[in-house]
Chains A and B, each alone.
Chain A
Amino acid sequence: MPDKRMTEDEVVAELSSGMTIGIGGWGSRRKPMSLVRAMLRSDLTDLHVVSYGGPDVGLLCAAGRVRRITYGFVSLDSIPLEPHFRIARQTGSVEAREFDEGAFYLGLLAAAHRVPFYPTRAGLGSDMLTYNPDLKTVTSPYGDGTELVAVPAFDIDVSLVHMNRADAAGNGQFLGPDLYFDDLFAMAAERTFMSCERVVATGDLLEEGSVHTLKIPRLHVDGVVEAPGGAHFTECPPDYGRDEAFQREYAATARDPDAWARFRAGWLDLPSHDAYRARLADRAGSAGAGHASGESSTCRARLADRAESARADR
């Protein structure tokens, strides 16, 4: 089996401005945040983001990297509306392509199945159609006269997802309560990069979950990034919950440009996910509680070396 391990920055080097980027997870749940932060370290811009959005969308909007968003919602869950997304909408700085949450699922499914659209009642009679003038309806060809919304396939250049576990070949495993639509993000995209809490040997995948948790086959995965804490500050159960204190601090930056500048300097203008984790560990230490940062960064450095030598071998 192939070894697809790579680093966040190597993933981002595969992206380019103007691309359509799908981001897995749901709201402030199991988002590939270390990959999003790596995007913020780059000069990527003019992006079209496709997401059940959370702070992934908020951060990219706040940093001015987004041209267009295709979304089912953009929420932090415990904070119902993503505050940076709110600003982007109210200032008209991004083009909004909003779908009913279920219709969004069908846009991913259509792309995954390589059909131009899937029909649904979702959206009929609502302003989803009014404000998405390119959306079309179809009439049932079977003589019953039902009009349906034709949700177009979401053609995605690259999807980014975060799993609990994966093997080096890209078989992804979720151990929490909900896969969300990450398998469809992977299938809908030309290429998919998967971060995970821990890369394990293929033979060990069933140690923590049943076969039903092996939801993303390596067929749809082009790269694997080991990123412990990679979903922080979103939740990634059972590995960790949402860092609500951190999320509140992040949300407050939308009301105050100085706070945003401080947040940026403190948490985004960092060279790597390891640096981010080290800073989190300091924060947890000074707060005297909270987030356990997991293994040391040397483990990651070792992994990067291994990935590099694997690539050199090829």
Chain B
Amino acid sequence: MSDAAIDEVCLVALAEAFRGDGELLCHPMGPFPVAAGRLARASFEPDLMLTDTIAYAVAGTLPLGATVTRPGAADEGVVVEGYLPFRAVFDQAWSGRRHVVMGASQIDRHGNQNFAAIGDYRKPKAQLLGLRGAPGNVINHTTSYWIPDQARTFCERVDVVSGPGHDRVAALPEPSGRFHEIRRVVTELAAYDFETSDCTMRLRSVHPGVSLDDVLAATPFELAVPDEVPASRLPTDEELRLIRDVIDPKGIRKHEFR
């Protein structure tokens, strides 16, 4: 247990974002978040529904990188339990039975997220991914963020709002924003939530081996810090086995750590 690497601690911290979700579509974007979703279902949140990242909901735990090629062929013991092409994914998003994990190029203390563009949107200095599905996801259901480079991503003010934060949503007429929930932000240093009176970012736990000073040095905005900050929990032996032997035997998760 003591030999958990930082990527494994982060994976567990991100998996913890799904705790209590029960039966909904767990829909993380990108290899690291996908591993976290699969870990959550395989260990403590067994009723989650997960896809192969293409169009099929699968029962059982797929390793990172594997997808269903022929549904019904039952190759590698993969059981298809549902069909979720993009149109069905949007329908699920709007139904609210979904929790996504997205990345961010910028995020502020209200949870405003940008992965659309840097500079003036109309003629950006750097075009990034674009708004993608962030506006619709964030306003319709639970969202968490995985940020592997906190110092570069946390900022005072984002250039473009892809996923709206609490201040933007609070400004909408009631009850337009009632399904908005930013559950968790997990970085390579710590985990955060927005459980403060003004819904600004709060330090939730600090990863083992990271100091509070490290966290604050990588945070350019005012952060709510409780008197007692717990350490992020370590993976259990079973979680380490799942991560290393089942979900990510190739170590793809480590590519996120520079």
A-B interface, 6 closest residue pairs, ranked by CB to CB distance from nearest:
A122-B136, A125-B164, A126-B135, A92-B123, A125-B168, A177-B55
Who on chain B is nearest to A71 by CB? Answer: B130
B93 touches A73 (CB 8 A): no
How many angstroms from the CA of A126 to the CA of B172 in the assembled complex?
A: 11
Q: Could you say which residues of chain A place their CB within 8 Å of the CB of B169?
A: 124-125
Q: Could you say which residues of chain A place their CB within 8 Å of the CB of B127?
A: 81, 85-86, 89-90
A126 touches B133 (CB 8 A): no
Chain B binder among A2-10, A139-147, A288-296: A139-147
- B85: shortest Cβ distance to chain A, in Å? 4
B177 touches A90 (CB 8 A): no
Chain A binder among B155-163, B185-193, B217-225, B245-253: B155-163
Given A26-B86, A92-B123, A127–B94 Cβ distance below 8 Å? no
- For the A-B complex with A124-B164, A127-B116 known, give 6 more contacts whose Cβ atoms are closer than 8 Å: A86-B127, A101-B132, A126-B131, A131-B122, A146-B173, A181-B86
A180 touches B136 (CB 8 A): no
Is there a chain A Cβ closer than 8 Å to B236's Cβ? Answer: no
Who on chain A is nearest to B55 by CB? Answer: A177
Interchain CB contact (< 8 A) of A103 among B136, B163, B171: B136
Given A125-B169, A127-B121, A148-B176, A102–B164 Cβ distance below 8 Å? no
Q: Could you say which residues of chain A place their CB within 8 Å of the CB of B174?
A: 145
How many angstroms from the CA of A99 to the CA of B172 in the assembled complex?
A: 19
How many angstroms from the CA of A148 to the CA of B93 in the assembled complex?
A: 16
Given A120-B94, A126-B168, A145-B174, A100–B136 Cβ distance below 8 Å? yes
- A 159-188 to B, binary, CB cutoff 8 A, 1 in contact else 0: 000000000000000000111110000000
Q: Could you say which residues of chain B place their CB within 8 Å of the CB of A181?
A: 86-87
A98 touches B131 (CB 8 A): yes
B87 touches A125 (CB 8 A): no
**Number of A interface residues, CB 8 Å?**
44
Is there a chain A Cβ closer than 8 Å to B125's Cβ? Answer: yes
- B67: shortest Cβ distance to chain A, in Å? 9
B168 touches A146 (CB 8 A): no
Is there a chain B Cβ closer than 8 Å to A250's Cβ? Answer: no
How many A-B Cβ pairs are below 8 Å? 138
A102 touches B130 (CB 8 A): no
- A56: shortest Cβ distance to chain B, in Å? 16
A66-113 interface with B by 8 A CB criterion: 71-75, 80-81, 85-86, 89-92, 96, 98-103, 105
A177 touches B56 (CB 8 A): yes
Q: Could you say which residues of chain B place their CB within 8 Å of the CB of A121?
A: 94, 136, 139-140, 176, 179
Is there a chain A Cβ closer than 8 Å to B44's Cβ? Answer: no
Is there a chain B Cβ closer than 8 Å to A281's Cβ? Answer: no
Is there a chain A Cβ closer than 8 Å to B54's Cβ? Answer: yes
How many angstroms from the CA of A86 to the CA of B118 in the assembled complex?
A: 12
Q: Could you say which residues of chain A place their CB within 8 Å of the CB of B230?
A: none
How many angstroms from the CA of A268 to the CA of B161 in the assembled complex?
A: 38
Is there a chain A Cβ closer than 8 Å to B126's Cβ? Answer: yes
How many angstroms from the CA of A145 to the CA of B178 in the assembled complex?
A: 12
Who on chain A is nearest to B54 by CB? Answer: A177
B37-82 interface with A by 8 A CB criterion: 54-56, 68
Is there a chain B Cβ closer than 8 Å to A123's Cβ? Answer: yes
Q: Could you say which residues of chain A place their CB within 8 Å of the CB of B138?
A: 125-126
Interchain CB contact (< 8 A) of A101 among B133, B161, B175: B133
Interchain CB contact (< 8 A) of B134 among A26, A74, A100, A120: A100
Is there a chain A Cβ closer than 8 Å to B128's Cβ? Answer: yes
- A280: shortest Cβ distance to chain B, in Å? 24
B136 touches A123 (CB 8 A): yes
